[in-house]
Amino acid sequence: MSDQNTGTSNDVLDYYSRNWEKIANCYEVDAQGIPADPAWYRRRLYGEFLERAKPASILDIGCGGGWTVLDALEKGVDARGIEPVLELKEFGNRLLKDNGHDPDRIQQDDLASCTDFAANSMDAISLLSVLPHVPRENWDAVHTDMARSLKPGGRLVAAYRNELFDLFTFNSITLEFFDQRLWGLDDDATPRGAKTLEALKGLMSNPDKPGQYFTAADDKSFGKLDRMKNNPLTLPEYHAKFGLEPERISFYHFHCVPPLMEDKIDNYREISHKMELSLSNDWRGHFMAAMFLVESVKK
């Protein structure tokens, strides 16, 4: 295991260690066939990526309970995974073994080990909901290492949290978006200030909801973990800095109405599920989906 550090906090790793059973079993569907967790949709999009790109091999970094490593192996890809949390790594080892694969394809390690990857050596790398846990100051280094490790023509597939979704939620998170992202840029010409924010609050019905540490997870400490968000409109420009060219952006974790209105819509889950299955590449995803998956190719 690498002794280097990408800065993922111990709070994050402890959270995953405490909740490993939930994370390892996050792909279940309910009696109506609707997924219990948005990870199901990410896995679906990832499956489509594997079918389309057909990489000869892939390294799945932060592979959790190993299901996506298994998916790739079952499609004939020479897949390996790394996962820092022991309980999840061991679940993944058992999952591979039970399905007739070498369990040691999943090793305990951290994204930090990417500094040791040989240049131009990888066909594909996946980071499925891992980067939001990496502090912003380490992002350039991580993306530099990913791009360096990929072969020319190799692919990075990475999931990000969508900050534009905050505009759709009409709540305290929307205020945060105005305050920090629209007005909080390094620009003296922005109208940022307590007075402006108060005036904006006056336009909204839910300026204090859902609260700073809101989370849908059972373990409420998840809401206190730092989780980075990104703008899907500027992400292509960001990847291009590292010689990575986005081929596709797919949206998931759709909300058919702002989250605070869920209880006003009888079949909220069914409608959102239908959006997931039909709108992953539709422009509305920029606003109505909380997450997105980017597939980029190294030039």
Ligand X SMILES: C[S@@+](CC[C@H](N)C(=O)[O-])C[C@H]1O[C@@H](n2cnc3c(N)ncnc32)[C@H](O)[C@@H]1O
For the CA atoms of the chain, what is the radius of gyration? 20
Check binding of 64 to ligand X (CB under 6 A): yes
Distance CA 107, CA 95 (A): 13
Check binding of 19 to ligand X (CB under 6 A): no
In the list 50, 72, 88, 122, the residue contacting ligand X (rule: CB under 6 A) is: 88
- 101 has which bridge partners? none
Distance CA 139, CA 141 (A): 5
Q: How many CB atoms lie within 10 A of CB 46?
A: 24
Distance CA 259, CA 277 (A): 19
Least distance (Å) between residue 56 CB and ligand X: 21
- Closest to ligand X by CB, 18 vs 269, is 18
Check binding of 145 to ligand X (CB under 6 A): no
Contacts (CB under 6 A) with ligand X, residues 226-245: none
Contacts (CB under 6 A) with ligand X, residues 99-128: 110-111, 128
In the list 19, 53, 70, 83, the residue contacting ligand X (rule: CB under 6 A) is: 83
Burial (0-12, 13-18, 19+ Cβ within 10 Å), 188: exposed
Check binding of 39 to ligand X (CB under 6 A): yes
Chain centre to alpha carbon of residue 288: 16
In the list 133, 148, 253, 286, the residue contacting ligand X (rule: CB under 6 A) is: 133
Residue ranges binding ligand X (CB under 6 A)? 6, 8, 12, 16, 23, 39, 42, 61-64, 68, 83-85, 88, 110-111, 128-130, 133
